Amino acid sequence: MAFRHPDRATPLIFCIALTLVFAAVGPPADATAQSPSVVNDSSPLEFTYFGAAGWKISDGKVVVLIDPWPSRLKYGGGGHPDDDRPDFARTDVAWSDTTLIDSLITEADFILVHHSHFDHLGDVPYIAQKTGAKVIGTETAVMILRAYGIPSDQLYAVGGGEDYQFEDFSVRVVPAIHSALNEKHYHDTRRYDETTELEAPLRIDQFIEGGSLSFLARFDRHEVLTMGSMNFIEREFEGLEPDILLAGINGSRLGLYDYDRRL
């Protein structure tokens, strides 16, 4: 396959097959990646990669965004040494690059949110408001979006185990766990609920995990299993037979027992 390295707002084109496993989570790139199609005798799928855990998937009937975060803010001292953008602190107010988002995202029917950290949910308030997309995520994600004024009829709070049918699309919500960060010391049980008082705009550090999910997204006869972290609950994946896996594969997976084989 031939790759070209475009600027931040230009899709990177590549071809994929139904059996290909995608690396959906990783820090690289200021670029997006797009597949013209996944060919089968049903509607073809088109994939656009936004970086981090962010994807757009469309079969020509429905457009689904997964953890869309095109802004890719530089924060906490991270990022590429050649990145001369402002460095946000985690206590700074969250910000979205709306100009960039507008150049990449013009429509969406659904947004699936794996968990509520800023690098997964940070751009969703603007995108949900812009597109009117239905957002499916944890109660924490829903509480954050309500704080930003997203109408309740766009929001679906889930906890794992739900299997919802919509027109031309269905999604099974799969319980999951977060990556084993900080040398396996990461553990955050905080949640937001109806009693939580939030006032937008939130600080970056107010985007807490709030629980983690995976999704089995069904497009026509294609099934796509999505992961937002480098971790999973093995028993929850038993019996699933997706055509495509969008898998988390960055370095923290190496601290888990036999991650690649079990996946």
Residue 53 sits in a domain whose CATH number is 3.60.15
Mean pLDDT of all residues in 209-237: 95
120 phi and psi, to 5 degrees? -120, -40
9, pLDDT greater than 70 = no
pLDDT recorded at residue 195 = 98
pLDDT band at 81 (very low <50, low <70, confident <90, very high): confident
95, pLDDT greater than 90 = yes
Whether residue 206 is contained in a domain is answered as yes
The percentage of the chain sitting over the pLDDT mark of 90, rounded to a whole number, equals: 68
pLDDT recorded at residue 34 = 55
pTM over 0.75: yes
Between strands 222-227 and 212-219, the pairing is: antiparallel
Mean pLDDT of all residues in 55-73: 97
Mean pLDDT of all residues in 247-257: 85
Mean pLDDT of all residues in 38-50: 77
Whether residue 4 is contained in a domain is answered as no
DSSP secondary structure, the chain, as one string: -------TTSEEE----TTPEEEEE-S--SSEEEEEEE-SSSPPEEEEEEETTEEEEE-SS-EEEES--TT---BTT-S-TT--S--B-TTSBP---HHHHHHH-S--SEEE-S--SHHHHTTHHHHHHHH--EEEE-HHHHHHHHHTT--GGGEEE--S--EEEETTEEEEEEEE----HHHHT--------TT----SSPBGGG-----EEEEEEEETTEEEEEESSS---HHHHTT---SEEEEE-SGGGGGSTTHHHH-
Whether residue 2 is contained in a domain is answered as no
pLDDT band at 64 (very low <50, low <70, confident <90, very high): very high
Pair 199, 240: CB distance under 8 Å: no
Average pLDDT along the chain? 86
Domain enclosing residue 162, as ranges:
12-79+87-262
pLDDT band at 94 (very low <50, low <70, confident <90, very high): very high
pLDDT recorded at residue 80 = 80
Mean pLDDT of all residues in 119-130: 98
pLDDT recorded at residue 132 = 99
Mean pLDDT of all residues in 35-55: 77
11-37 pLDDT tens trace = 332 333 323 333 333 333 444 455 545
Select the more confidently predicted residue: 19 or 217. Answer: 217
Q: How many domains does the chain have?
A: 1
